[in-house]
């Protein structure tokens, strides 16, 4: 099994939603996007880990950020993962193999991917230390940029690196923010059970759905601006699922059914 195939196998296990569009990207771009996704999934698993306390999460995330900042072309997979060995029995495979995902990135774009991941890890550490306390809309904007809006900016850089595609960067931020806001709207009850709320003071579930739709308007414009092809399909699938999830939540459902997810994906793939 070659390294790209191995990475895609792990990607399929962690997110079939993103595996489908990533696996259809052209050579070069597939490695860059898979690397970025798996790197960010690696640190996300640490941020969301149920058995680690917030101080440990912050320490691990900052350690990974420094590893990424110190990386050079000759860095080994082990160099990227320094510090994780202390919690190796607690962490999932996707986190422990972070060095392999870093090395998957084509060297001409790898520093941008490493930089984006390092910055996100630092921001996640900040939010973990404050137990994701959000009191105002401005703080919600800060958080959704930290963990998702910045991903939209990275995607724009990847499209431009691959074939020169230019996109609206404010719309790119809205793309990331909108998807993250839908996650918040879908998971807020589970978040409350672990003592975390991403709702600004006075906000109800309907308010976070309004916030999500406002950002998805930007996400729609961002996606529609892309020419037909793999990059546009990559954006269309999570965007269509986000809209469908909000529609389901508006009707009182807690999430999309598995059949509904499959139907949305098949619909997007049929019109790509």
Output the pLDDT for position 16.
77
Which of 84, 86, 83 has its CA nearest to residue 94? 84
pLDDT digits (tens, 9 = 90+) for 1-19: 477 888 999 999 988 778 9
* CA 147 to the chain's CA centroid: 7
Q: Answer yes or no: are the C-beta atoms of 91 and 59 closer than 8 Å.
A: no
pLDDT at residue number 1: 47
Tokens of 139: 């703080």
The full set of domain ranges for the chain reads 1-111, 132-272
Digit-coded pLDDT (tens) for 181-235: 999 999 999 999 989 999 999 999 999 999 999 999 999 999 999 998 888 989 9
Q: Give the pLDDT confidence score for residue 114 in this predicted structure.
A: 98
Fold of 132-272: Farnesyl Diphosphate Synthase (1.10.600)
Contact 87, 56 (CB under 8 A): yes
Q: How much is the average pLDDT of 84-94?
A: 96
What's the confidence (pLDDT) of residue 272? 58
CA Rg value for the chain: 18
- What pLDDT shows up at residue 4? 82
Return the higher-pLDDT residue of 257 and 204.
204
Residue 230, pLDDT score = 84
101-145 pLDDT, tens per residue?
999 999 999 999 999 999 999 999 999 999 999 999 999 999 999
pLDDT tens digits, one per residue of 140-169: 999 999 999 999 999 999 999 999 999 999
């Amino acid at each position: 099994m070659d390294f790209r195939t191995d990475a895609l196998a792990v990607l399929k296990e962690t997110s079939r939603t993103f595996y489908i569009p990533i696996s259809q990207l052209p050579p070069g771009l597939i490695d860059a996007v898979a690397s970025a996704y798996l790197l960010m999934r690696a640190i996300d698993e640490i941020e969301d880990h149920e058995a680690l306390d917030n101080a440990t999460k912050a320490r691990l995330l900052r350690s990974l950020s420094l590893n990424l900042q110190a990386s050079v072309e000759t860095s080994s997979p082990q160099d990227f993962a320094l510090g994780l060995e202390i919690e190796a029995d607690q962490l999932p495979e996707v986190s422990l193999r972070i060095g392999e995902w870093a090395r998957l990135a084509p060297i001409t774009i790898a520093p941008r991917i490493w930089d984006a991941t390092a910055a996100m890890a630092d921001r996640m550490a900040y939010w973990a230390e404050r137990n994701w306390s959000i009191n105002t809309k401005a703080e919600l904007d800060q958080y959704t940029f930290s963990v998702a809006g910045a991903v939209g900016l990275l995607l724009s850089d990847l499209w431009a690196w691959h074939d020169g595609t230019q996109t609206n960067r404010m719309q790119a931020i809205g793309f990331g923010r909108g998807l993250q806001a839908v996650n918040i709207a879908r998971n807020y009850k589970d978040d409350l059970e672990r003592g975390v709320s991403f709702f600004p003071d006075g906000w109800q579930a309907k308010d976070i759905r309004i916030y999500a739709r406002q950002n998805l308007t930007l996400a729609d414009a961002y996606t529609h601006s892309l020419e037909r092809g793999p990059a546009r399909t990559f954006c269309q699938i999570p965007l269509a699922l986000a809209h469908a999830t909000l529609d389901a939540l508006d009707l009182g459902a807690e999430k999309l059914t598995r059949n509904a997810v499959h139907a949305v994906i098949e619909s997007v793939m049929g019109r790509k």
